[in-house]
Amino acid sequence: MVYGQVLHQPQDCFINVNVGGFKQRMDHTVLKRFPQTRLSRLLCCSSKEAILELCDDFSPSDMEYYFDRSPRFFCYVLNFYLTGKIHLVDGLCVVSFIQEIEYWGIKERHLDFCCSNKFHEMMELADNQQWDQRSDEVQLESLGSSVEELSILEDDTVMFEGTWCADVRRSVWIRLENPGFSTSAKAMAVVSLSVVLMSIIAMCVHSMPDFHQVDLDENEIENPVLTVFETLCVLFFSAEFILRLVVAPSARKFLSSPLNIIDLLSILPFYVTVVCDTMNKDENPDLENVGKVAQILRLMRVFRIFKLARHSAGLRSLGATLRHSSREVGLLVLFLSVGISMFSALIYFVEKETKESELQNIPIGWWWATISMTTVGYGDTFPVTLAGKLIGTLCIICGLLIVALPITNIFNKFSKFYQRQKHLDLKRNNN
């Protein structure tokens, strides 16, 4: 005979339940209809220890089982034992509802059909919110590098202690890294950014035929004015880079920064070109080729525009969004690749017999499918048959859908990063 049966008289077929102060007398027969529930399992306990594993307290004198749970929800549990169906509790979170029914041993299949659709909608909403929360936590962890960059002044100023010319270097470093520190820092930032923009403008002007010059042998030469201006800009960039390197609290950390690496790569090609140009090109034509390659590398100066990110929360947010949206971008590239491959093959098979059509092979079809799915539509290649036009229409529609799929997630990430960056900038300026 089990413990419950020893305590109860044979004619006593009821148990006393106290849930958060709400007392109820329940029939054994009703409880045994659902043997997997918590209250039904109490009837099979063979010791007081086993009973206390299922309830929070037990009074042998009153034969009362106490549960430290919501008395409001227990009313729904009582209704479940009487009807065999459980209903949603108005105003109760769906997660708490699941926790309650799991505690009492009630399965989701016992949910009444009138509440089933609402329950699944609430579950889907809760899952989405949990996913967003986990995504925020992951982004916050991955944002650690960005946060460290933004709070570099707070962390790095301590590293100046005990080093040579600590006060002077700290003062210069803060003014170079934080334009909002003082009026002089803002002036230095304005000068630096002005030189960057003028250098980019000069590079653009240099590519215009109206500014090209030739020597007496009709060989194209560098415009002397633009050459001098470019040299001055590179010298300014070099002096700025060296100054920042000298006053940096940690040279190793400074050289490992992505923005500083870009600065270095935008300067080095100029000096490589100068070295190659000073050598005898006639004696060693390979050096001339090296000089041309170095000249091409000078185009990397355009990456100096990323220096604006030091002063713009929007650009930092954009960079962080691109870094942490690799999954969405990867899916977008995958979907586009599949679509381009499929539509290029289809357009080839329907257009290859038509002489007026330029889509006579699949590689040309790749180009057409790419500009069609991305809705660019240069118009240089296009289908001429009815079947080809139908495929083109389907290609454009699929391209719109595919491109639009990851946009929402990427935009949401950008919004979150932007808000955090603005908050961190405000906090840094206040400090």
pLDDT at 217: 64
> How would you classify residue 280: left for phi > 0, otherwise alpha for psi between -120 and 50, otherwise beta?
beta
- Per the structure block, which two tokens stand in for 399? 């391209």
Sign of CA dihedral 282, 286, 287, 288: positive
Of 342, 335, 334, 390, nearest in space to 365 by CA: 342
381 vs 227: CA distance, rounded Å: 41
- What is the spatial distance between Cα 280 and Cα 284, in angstroms, rounded to a whole number? 7
pTM, two decimals, is: 0.50
Contact between 384 and 352 (Cβ < 8 Å): no
Tokens 């391209």, residue located: 399
Q: What are the pLDDT digits (tens) for 169-204?
A: 877 877 777 766 778 878 887 888 788 778 778 777
Strand, helix or coil for residue 107: coil
Per-residue model confidence (pLDDT) at position 286: 55
pLDDT of residue 144: 45
- Please count the other Cβ atoms lying within 10 Å of the Cβ belonging to residue 89: 17
Query: Considering only the top CATH level, what class is 326-409?
Result: mainly alpha
Tokens of 212: 């090209």
In whole angstroms, give the CA distance from residue 418 to residue 414.
6
- Residue ranges of the chain with pLDDT lower than 70? 1-12, 128, 130-163, 179-180, 214-221, 276-316, 421-431
* Contact predicate 44/74, CB 8 Å: no
Domain parsing of the chain, residue ranges: 3-131, 153-311, 326-409
Q: What pLDDT was estimated at residue 143?
A: 46
153-311 folds as Four Helix Bundle (Hemerythrin (Met), subunit A) (1.20.120)
CATH code for the domain defined by 3-131:
3.30.710.10
Consecutive H or E run containing 146: helix 144-150
Nearest Cα to Cα of residue 100 among 59, 70, 80: 70
Quote the pLDDT of residue 427: 62
CA distance 187 to 195: 12
Backbone angles phi, psi at 59, to 5 degrees: -110, 105
CA angle 413, 418, 424 (to 5 degrees): 130
* Residues 39/31, Cβ–Cβ less than 8 Å: yes
Which pLDDT does position 297 carry in this prediction? Answer: 59
CA separation, residue 406 to residues 290, 334, 370, 402, 403 (Å): 43, 12, 18, 8, 7
Give DSSP secondary structure letters for 182-208. Answer: -HHHHHHHHHHHHHHHHHHHHHHHHTS
Residue 220 burial class via C-beta count within 10 angstroms: exposed 0-12, middle 13-18, buried 19 and up: exposed
* Whole-number Å distance between alpha carbons of 120 and 195: 59
CA distance 307 to 241: 12
